[in-house]
Homo-oligomer: A and B are copies of this chain.
């Protein structure tokens, strides 16, 4: 073990990936060893009261420190990727709270949670992440200029084009149009009615508007649309092709803006990391790869290979000036599978 390794060995970094449904937290040393992990409920400040979010974060941080027998004095950085923390005021709130908690002795960094998925796909290097889960967003990063660029992600009333919710909404609209005698016949009616155990499209109204989490319930329909599209249903195919176009536009907009920011850089060969439930289907991922703009852009499509919270840990290390060597990558990669490197 080199002197630098020994030094980094005793340092501690905490990473938090705060999504809409759960919050993941890990602690690791300065050499890429993740020492402990735990998770809790949502820490999205748009959907939970601030006091609950604070409690959730405190509990998770204390738990990983305890599990790893770490001391506050060892902490060299906390990196948070938080859903719903888009505005500077929102981020300031998190930073103040944690700075107070650690008496201002630990560097705190906070970003949108898309950034953690991105860094999990690129080991913190340049690239673009395209997320299609319940919502959708594209995020790009160029380390040379430390610039993040974003497109989409404006929520279900103003954006989220190509997301699971968007796909599900179009499917339901198609079902109601068929029911009215407008619009084409589609297998989606049968698939959705049977998925929700309903007899009749009229029942969809009461069912949908009565859901405690209507966006999630509608986003889940995306997988039925994929099924129908694969079996050749032309309405389902149209919906999926529209989603592909919207998602491609998100990624290509970010790519274009990264190129504008640093004209010298080669942004044509960047990795395009795909994340979120809608991309879990290979057929859909391939469809995106074949989209004209994406195909000619030279972007290299991939899925996440490590969990977003591990990407967040990488950013914590980089923030502290630690190089992400092949050994560090190997150690982080091994964490998920539980192997020791």
**A interface list, Cβ under 8 A from B:** 46, 86-87, 150-152, 154-155, 157-159, 161, 169, 172-173, 176, 180-182, 202, 204-206, 208-209, 214, 218, 249-250, 253, 256-257
Contacts and interface: CB of A to CB of B under 8 A. Distances in A.
B182 A249 contact: yes
B173 A209 contact: no
Contacts of A172: 157-158
A214 B158 CA distance: 11
Given A157-B172, A158-B169, 5 more contacts: A150-B180, A152-B182, A157-B218, A158-B204, A158-B205
A336 to B, nearest CB: 33
Contacts of A161: 173
A155 B211 CA distance: 14
A202 B181 CA distance: 40
Contact of A176 (B154, B202, B204, B256): B154
A339 to B, nearest CB: 41
A87 to B, nearest CB: 7
A159 B87 CA distance: 32
Identical copies in the complex: 2
Nearest to A165: B157
A151 B180 contact: yes
Contacts of A209: 46, 155, 157
Nearest to A157: B208
A218 B155 CA distance: 14
Contacts of A250: 180, 182
A247 B162 CA distance: 25
13 contacts: A151-B181, A151-B182, A152-B180, A154-B205, A155-B209, A157-B169, A158-B173, A158-B176, A158-B205, A180-B253, A182-B249, A182-B250, A182-B253
Contacts of A180: 150-152, 250, 253
B87 A206 contact: yes
Nearest to A209: B155
A256 B181 contact: yes
Contacts of A151: 180-182
Contact of A173 (B159, B204, B205, B208): B159
Contacts of A155: 205, 209
Nearest to A175: B158
A127 to B, nearest CB: 18
